[in-house]
Structure 1
Amino acid sequence: MPTILQMLGWRLFFYANEGCEPMHVHARKGEMECKFWLLPDEYEIRPAFVRGLGPRDLREIRKLIFDHFDYIAERWQTFQQERENG
């Protein structure tokens, strides 16, 4: 479960055992956790699940993901290539 970014108390990461799911990122801060699908063709994100986040926290993590969208997408591609090549 590599951490790809830590900022504002959030840890953004990928899980290595999620099979063939579309591009996404997990985020955790304290007891709060969420997962967002990344849609590069639309430059959009959509929540897959959100646990324990209030409206302010949700705005904060959405902004963090959008501000680092290209970086997260690049890291996803690299992570998947490394998994495939073993």
Structure 2
Amino acid sequence: MAPTIVRDGQFRLFFFSREEPRIHVHVGHPDGDAKFWLTPTVHLANNVGLSQTQVKQAQAVVEKHLQEINDAWQRYFGS
């Protein structure tokens, strides 16, 4: 299961159920996807198919929606 947190332009932010306990978010895009760790700061964990420009755009989207992501994580995973 991969609940969507938010859509922003061509980016879809989501979690995978039961993947790992460290807080992170996946960012889907028609050209590929990326995973970002959220602590201690937002930073790229991995990238498949996105250009460097798209990765920067994806990171900006994550940073823009950081509170929503954290709130969704707490609701979904409860910790």
TM-score by structure 1 length?
A: 0.82
> Unaligned regions of 5+ residues in structure 2, if any?
none
Instruction: For 1:1-86, list aligned pairs within 5 A.
Output: 1-18=2-19, 20-39=20-39, 42=40, 44-81=41-78
Runs of 4+ in 1 over 6 A off after TM superposition: none
Percent of residue pairs bearing the same amino acid type? 28
**Structure 1 residue 59, shift from structure 2 partner:** 1.1
The count of corresponding residues between Structure 1 and Structure 2 is 78
CA distance in 2, matches of 1:5, 1:46: 19
Which deviations, in whole Å up to 9, do the C-alpha atoms of 1:14-33 show, x marking residues without a partner? 01121x42000001111311
Let me know the Cα RMSD of the aligned residues: 1.5
CA distance in 2, matches of 1:24, 1:5: 14
TM-score by structure 2 length?
A: 0.89
